[in-house]
Amino acid sequence: MRNFVKVTLALSLVTQVVFAQKNKSKGFHFAEEQTELMLKSISEAKATSRPNAVTPRTLDKNGNLVLVPSRDWCSGFFPGELWFLYQYTKDKKWMDEARKYTAFIEPEQFTTTTHDLGFEIYCSVGNGYKLTNDPSYKQVIINAAKSLSTRFNPTVGCIKSWDNRKEWKFPVIIDNMMNLELLFAATRLSGDSSFYKIAVTHANTTLKNHFRANNSSYHVIDYDPETGKVLHKQTHQGYADESAWARGQAWGLYGYTMCYRETRNPVYLQQAEKIAAFILNNPTTPTDKVPYWDYNAPDIPNAPRDASAAAITASALYELAKYSENGKSYKKSADQIMNSLSKHYQAEPGGSKGFILLHSTGHKPANSEIDVPISYADYYYLEALLRQ
């Protein structure tokens, strides 16, 4: 009987692995076809776009492809997608395209007016370096980390998010956790521990001030830059200040999982698990695990969904599963999310100008990018496929 159980479990494991590999293959095949279309769509859109527009972000209300310049926080996602395609397929054509689009983003390495250098540089150049060991990419990462470090205020203990915004003195958003990966990488590549120290300090300050008792997070914490005192807590892109903006929760989950990987500090692992519990056990989380744009949106179940939040969450859960005693449960939830995205949120083949996923929500309070495809949803979906 015991041997029978062992054989059954072994067969079940093999079946799960085969099924995952089949889904991964199917997902990347679709992504390749859509990305071929996206490359053609970009060429067509450049005829009517700004001269400095280089990568796709979304579709406008008329279904036209929106291209953005390298300074846009979303600029690095499409080059990252191309690197993911190369990573999976080993097809040189994807590396060539990835190098081409990554080169468009490299000038941002010297920009000091944004906190989004992690999104811009690490999602593009960082992925390129991991796959090629190109020494020029290494230097770009280090330069970008130096630029990002100029935004760190040791009194506050954080990297400043937005400049020139009258409503805040020193705003720090939960999204900023994602940009810390650039700093951790720069310490490994340069040996300069100052980047590591800034990242850890930012993560600790955010852990202290961004989270509520139920382990959901605010979007923005405004600090006094001279004293470090918290001035105001709010949820700028969510329904209300005390609501839980879905993508913000996903950023936090991903960010603290990544911080645990880089530091092995158990406090970060515990925080990631707490955020995962909030997301997965939330009474408003739909059965398909793809959240509404805000967990407290008043018009649930008729509120817009956010496939991007789901994709970020799935990618984070796959990594968290490697570190946690609850790994099997996290992987199961990630699989459920990916199954939903693949079956019900994908674009029609040959449609949507080449985007992969539909039904994301960018900034609903500003009536911006609601129920649209968007580049970061596709990026984290492909990353999650690779992590399956």
224 annotated to a ligand binding site: no
335 annotated to a ligand binding site: no
Amino acid at site 314 = A
235 annotated to a ligand binding site: yes
d(CA 194, CA 40) in angstroms, rounded, equals: 43
d(CA 325, CA 188) in angstroms, rounded, equals: 28
Helix (H) or strand (E) holding 231: strand 230-234
**11 CB-near residues (< 8 Å, 6+ apart):** none
Residues in the chain: 388
299 assigned to active site: no
| Cis peptide preceding 225, ω within 30 of 0 | no
d(CA 319, CA 268) in angstroms, rounded, equals: 13
d(CA 69, CA 75) in angstroms, rounded, equals: 7
- Report the half-sphere exposure of 356 (CA within 13 A, side-chain side): 31
- Beta strands 152-153 and 158-159 are antiparallel
Options 60, 72, 116, 335, the catalytic residue? 116
175 annotated to a ligand binding site: yes
Instruction: Give the DSSP letter of residue 348.
Output: P
Options 91, 163, 175, 241, the catalytic residue? 175
Instruction: Give the DSSP letter of residue 219.
Output: S
Contact 176, 162 (CB under 8 A): no
116 assigned to active site: yes
Beta-bridge partners for 172: 221
247 annotated to a ligand binding site: yes
Residue 214 burial by Cβ neighbours in a 10 Å radius (0-12, 13-18, 19+)? exposed
d(CA 239, CA 237) in angstroms, rounded, equals: 7
- Beta strands 65-69 and 152-153 are unpaired
> Which parts are annotated binding residues for substrate?
116, 175, 235, 247, 251
**Residues forming the active site:** 116, 175
